[in-house]
Amino acid sequence: MTRLSVNINKIATLRNARGGNNPDVIKAAQDCENFGAEGITVHPRPDERHIRYADVIALKDVVKTEFNIEGYPDLRYLKLIREVRPAQATLVPDAPDAITSNAGWDTLRHAALLKDVVDEIRSLGVRVSLFVDPSPRMVEGAAKLKADRIELYTEPYAREYHVNRDVAVKPYIESARVATSLGLAVNAGHDLDLDNLKFLKSNIPDLAEVSIGHALICDALYLGLENTIQLYLKQLH
């Protein structure tokens, strides 16, 4: 089974536009779960332009499915993970000023930094996933670091999907195969949508989780949140 984790960053973007509490991200997380989401993902960024660190702490006792906190493992992120102890920490190499995630880790070059962080987070009983490009070498590096999972960065897949989807998915199939052979479970995320999700899933049947935010929240504007979540679930189950 592939779990659908809904990334609620964009709900916080809308809330922040007016400075009040509409829409309420706590209620939105609860509603996503009630509508069928099997996880909630947040990616707090240093400028708190969407989800805030305080939101993440408030969500700790609210999320009943799997809580996944993404981010660059700086001191503030690590403090948050110690305090919240989510089901999963997804480590992403984004620079503080990145508009959105734009690459996976170089798990070989950054092995020294990642080793200590992965060990510490795992010792808290929190599963660790490393965000990587679809490269068998990077997957092997993640396995050496004793991560639990990788999250394959799917922006290149999403971009190329409409050009040649068989070519687009190839490196993902190979990377997932390497990951599975090394005992790593496989997540995927970034720019997944109602067009490209089913094909990814059919090519990587053992996909453990997808985290989806931007397209899902955009679709919800037209289709409604409950209906949209059900439509995404249909692509996966």
Ligand X SMILES: NCC(=O)COP(=O)(O)O
Q: Does 213 interact with ligand DXP (rule: CB under 6 A)?
A: yes
Q: In b/e form, how buried is each residue of 151-161, taking b as 16+ CB within 10 angstroms?
A: bbbbbbbbebb
Radius of gyration for the alpha carbons in the chain, expressed in angstroms and rounded: 17
Q: Does 92 interact with ligand DXP (rule: CB under 6 A)?
A: yes
For residues 19 and 104, which CB has a smaller minimum distance to ligand X in the complex? Answer: 104
CA-wise closest residue to 55 among 17, 84, 96: 84
Of 147-166, binders to ligand X (CB under 6 A) are 151
The Cα 214–Cα 193 span in angstroms is 9
Residue 47 marked in a binding site: no
Examine the residue annotation and report whether 70 is marked as an active-site residue of this protein: yes
State the sign of the Cα–Cα–Cα–Cα dihedral 56, 27, 214, 208.
Answer: positive
Residue 100 marked in a binding site: yes
Contact pick of 2, 41, 107, 135 for ligand X (by CB under 6 A): 41
Residue 162 marked in a binding site: no
CA-wise closest residue to 6 among 212, 196, 153: 212
Q: Does 179 interact with ligand DXP (rule: CB under 6 A)?
A: no
Work out what residue 91 binds among ligand DXP, ligand X, none; the CB cut-off runs from 5 to 8 Å by kind: none
CA-wise closest residue to 229 among 29, 59, 89, 43: 29
For residue 175, the Cα-to-chain-centroid distance in whole angstroms is 17
Most distant CA atoms of the chain, gap in Å: 48
Residue 191 marked in a binding site: yes
Contact pick of 84, 190, 207, 217 for ligand DXP (by CB under 6 A): 190
Which residues form the interface with ligand X (CB under 6 A)? Answer: 7, 41, 43, 70, 151, 189-192, 211-215
Which residues form the interface with ligand DXP (CB under 6 A)? Answer: 7, 9, 43, 45, 50, 70, 92, 100-101, 131, 189-190, 213
Catalytic residue positions, numbered: 43, 70, 190
**Which residues fall in the annotated binding site for 3-amino-2-oxopropyl phosphate?**
7, 18, 191, 213-214
